[in-house]
Amino acid sequence: MRKTGWAVSSGIESADVRELQQSAPGPVPQQRHDEAARTGKPPLGARTVKAGLRTAVVLCLATALVHVVLVFLHVAPPNPVSKRYASQVNGWVFPLFEQNWRLFAPDPDSFNRKILARTAHTDPKGAVQVTPWFDLAAVDHSAVDHSVFPSHTSQNLLRRAWTSYVETHGGSDTARSERALMLQTYLRNIAVDRVASHSDGRTFEFIQLRVVTLPVAAPGTAAGTRPPAPTEDRLLPWWKVTSHGK
């Protein structure tokens, strides 16, 4: 199946290349020309061209259909078919056609997160100074507030960094895979940048994160009068700060 896929794909690419060259003359005069030519007898090589064209058309259609089927299998929940052909589906879909349409599904998040950070600095005398907690997510919330067009840096940067961190780490804070280590570095870099831009140039060598998850009150309950009790209060280990090219 994979083999067909690749063979078919080359058919489409060659079609593109030809179309590229075509853009200069433009389609309108050409078509007029076609009609004039059709009245005459087809020349000798025409049969070969026709056969080639037929093959190309069939290949195009086949590619399109195969693509649609593979994307369907990728989007659908795991099932016997998508499990059986997992390698073909993944080989075709990843990375360019990867997609996930679980938008606010199966349920929208029912919590807001505070992502707090504090830093430690060892002064020349050897005493360790630890700053109070600083809410990184609050920076995002205030940036989104009254913004017609919130930036990805407020809505997605920290939010997705944290969810990706949890996906790769689970409940533990030791990175057990290369990807987990990368995301740990990413999260640390974000935190360091945020703290640094809000701390008047104070230097620090260590940083620690704490993530507090606050539930959204169920509808009907008198929300807003007092802050809800956190469902999770996760304290991460101290991380050594290294500069990342800033």
Q: How many CA atoms lie within 13 A of 53 on its CB side?
A: 6
244 burial type by CB count under 10 A (0-12 exposed, 13-18 middle, 19+ buried)? exposed
10 touches another protein by CB under 8 A = no
- When the beta carbons of 111 and 122 are compared against another protein, the nearer one is 111
Q: Segment 119-138, which members bind another protein (CB under 8 A)?
A: 137
Residues 178 to 207 in contact with another protein, rule: CB under 8 A: 178-179, 182-183, 185-186, 189-190, 192-193
Please report whether residue 94 would count as binding another protein according to CB under 8 A.
yes
Closest to 134 (Cα-Cα) out of 151, 114, 152, 111: 114
Residue 218 binds another protein (CB under 8 A): yes
Phi, psi dihedrals of residue 146, rounded to the nearest 5°: 60, 35
Q: Does 233 bind another protein (CB under 8 A)?
A: no
Q: Answer yes or no whether residue 95 interacts with another protein by CB under 8 A.
A: yes
Distance CA 246, CA 239 (A): 18
State the burial class of residue 222 (Cβ atoms within 10 Å of its Cβ: 0-12, 13-18, 19+).
exposed
Interface residue with another protein among 5, 9, 134, 164 (CB under 8 A) is 164
Rounded least distance, CB 206 to another protein, Å? 17
- Under the binding rule (CB under 8 A), the answer on residue 229 touching another protein is no
Which C-beta is closer to another protein: that of 108 or that of 237? Answer: 108
Residue among 173, 238, 244 nearest 206 (CA): 238
For the chain, the straight-line distance linking the first and the last C-alpha, in angstroms and rounded, comes to 48
Interface stretch with another protein, choices 11-19, 81-89, 122-130, 231-239 (CB under 8 A): 11-19
